[in-house]
Amino acid sequence: MTALEQLIEALKRLPGVGQKSAQRMAYHLLQHDRDGARAIAQALAAAASQVRLCERCHTFSEAPVCEICSDTRRDASLLCVVETPADQAALERSGSFQGYYFVLQGRLSPLDGQSTQAIGAQQLLARAAEPAVQEVILATSFTAEGEATAHVLGEALRARGIKATRLARGVPVGSELEYVDLGTIAHALVDRR
C-alpha cells in the first residue's frame, strides 16, 4: 500500500468517514495544507502516547487522576454514570452537575462483546459503595443498549442498597410538539411531574 492509501485507510477509521470523505480529507491535506497535516500527525501522536484513563472515573486524562476527580469542591454525594468521555464533557458544558463521574467507556452490547465486565461494572459498584456517595445518576443514552445498561446497573446498585436514578427525558426546550417524535412525547407524558 502506498503512503496515500495508508492515509486514506487510516482516515476511514473515524466515525462517519467513508472512502470518499477519507479521500477528500487526504487530498486536501496533501494538496493545500501540509503544515496542517504535520500538526494533526504530531497532535495525534502526542495524544496517543500521553492520554490515559483516569484511575478514579475512567475519563481521558494526562494525569493519573483527572482534574474533575481532583476537585474537592465538587459534591461527593453525587456520582453520574456516563458512557463516554464525550458524554461527560457534554454534561460539564451544561454547568448543571457538580458531582463526580464514572465513565463506562461503552455500553452493554452482547452482539459486540460488550459485557458488564467490559464496561467496568465491578469498578462502578465499588466506587458507588464509597460512604460519601448517596445517589448514582445513570446518564446513559436512550438507545436500546443505553437503556439496557441503565437497567442492569440500576438493578445491581439497588440490590446493594444504593440509590440509583435515571436521567430524565422529555420534550426538548424550544421545540414544537408537532415536530417531536412520538416516543419522546410518550415518555414525556409518562414521566411528567
Question: The domain spanning residue 40 has which CATH number?
Answer: 1.10.8.420
Residue 180: per-residue pLDDT: 82
Residue 130: per-residue pLDDT: 95
Positions of the chain with pLDDT lower than 70, given as ranges: 110-111, 113, 193
Shared-domain flag, residues 33 and 104 = no
Residue 68: per-residue pLDDT: 97
Shared-domain flag, residues 46 and 90 = no
Q: In terms of Cα–Cα distance, which of 148, 99, 147 is closest to 127?
A: 99
Shared-domain flag, residues 25 and 99 = no
Shared-domain flag, residues 105 and 42 = no
Structural domain range at position 25: 3-50
Residue 84: per-residue pLDDT: 93
Residue 124: per-residue pLDDT: 92
124 with 153: CB under 8 angstroms?
A: yes
Residue 186: per-residue pLDDT: 82
Cell numbers representing residue 92 in the block: 460539564
Burial profile 33-68: b = 16 or more Cβ within 10 angstroms, e = fewer:
eeeebeeeeeeeeeeeeeeebbebbbbbbeeeebeb
The total number of structural domains in the chain stands at 2
Cell numbers representing residue 118 in the block: 467490559
Shared-domain flag, residues 28 and 89 = no
CA distances from residue 11 to 17, 27, 73 in whole angstroms, order as listed: 7, 11, 41
Residue 116: per-residue pLDDT: 74
Residue 193: per-residue pLDDT: 65
149 assigned to some structural domain: yes
Shared-domain flag, residues 151 and 97 = yes
